[in-house]
């Protein structure tokens, strides 16, 4: 009898560690999840940005040669990004792909505008973000790949 209760307790613990059997998000629901993460890019707050990434997320930064899964390094990259003073973010034509009920990818080419000393500066960034539903049902980025599509160039001041 003791083994039966131990088995039930272990099974309950395992089930509790997995996302509930929820259907995959609709396109609209996934877009809202992505919009929430992307809305932090112009917040000026690296902590808010990092809240949308899993603790062990793998990130490929557009300005770094090697990827990282080190949270401290990724946070430093977010701080460096915020220091550039992003003012506008447009995800471009976003493509969503679903893989089962708990994983989807958002990809596209984004335009980011930064507050430059002599006027706005823009960059086009190719992005791929893999979102995975966590055991607590929160969606977090578990993998991100960014690459600069073209050099940053200053826009003339009107």
In the three-class reduction of DSSP (H, G, I as helix; E, B as strand; rest coil), residue 60 is classed as strand
Domain membership of residue 83 (yes or no) is yes
Buried b (16+ CB within 10 A) or exposed e, 114-144: bebeeeebbbbbebbbbbbbeeeeebbbbbb
| Helical spans, DSSP H, in 17-107 | 27-38, 46-50, 71-83
Whether residue 49 contacts residue 102, with contact meaning beta carbons closer than 8 Å, is answered with no
Domain membership of residue 101 (yes or no) is yes
Domain membership of residue 16 (yes or no) is no
Domain membership of residue 82 (yes or no) is yes
* Dihedral sign of CA atoms 126, 132, 133, 136 in order: negative
Domain membership of residue 8 (yes or no) is no
Total number of domains in the chain? 1
- At residue 16, the pLDDT reads 44
- At residue 65, the pLDDT reads 86
For residue 103, the domain's CATH number is 3.10.450.50
Whether residue 144 contacts residue 128, with contact meaning beta carbons closer than 8 Å, is answered with yes
**Tokens, residue 20:** 């509930």
- At residue 156, the pLDDT reads 61
10-residue averages of pLDDT along the chain (158 residues) = 44 45 89 97 96 97 92 96 95 96 97 90 95 96 92 58
DSSP label of 143:
E
Domain membership of residue 13 (yes or no) is no
**Rounded-to-10 torsion of CA 12, 15, 19, 20:** -80
Domain membership of residue 2 (yes or no) is no
Q: Domain span at residue 122?
A: 22-154
Measure Cα distances from 104 to 31, 140, 147, 158 in Å.
Answer: 11, 10, 20, 41
- At residue 118, the pLDDT reads 85
- At residue 10, the pLDDT reads 41
Domain membership of residue 116 (yes or no) is yes
């Amino acid at each position: 009898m003791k083994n039966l209760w131990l088995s039930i307790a272990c099974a309950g613990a395992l089930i509790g560690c997995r996302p509930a059997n929820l259907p995959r998000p609709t396109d609209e629901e996934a877009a809202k999840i992505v919009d929430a993460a992307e809305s932090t890019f112009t917040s000026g707050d690296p902590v808010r940005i990092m809240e949308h990434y899993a603790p062990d997320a793998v990130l490929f930064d557009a300005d770094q040669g090697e990827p990282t899964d080190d949270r401290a390094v990724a946070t430093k990259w977010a701080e460096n990004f915020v220091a550039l003073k992003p003012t506008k973010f447009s995800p471009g034509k976003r493509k969503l792909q679903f893989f089962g009920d708990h994983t989807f990818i958002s990809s596209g080419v984004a335009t980011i505008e930064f507050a430059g000393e002599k006027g706005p500066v823009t960059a086009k960034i190719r992005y791929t973000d893999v979102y995975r539903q966590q055991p607590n049902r929160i969606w977090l980025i578990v993998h991100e790949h960014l690459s600069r599509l073209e050099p940053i160039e200053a826009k003339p001041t009107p």
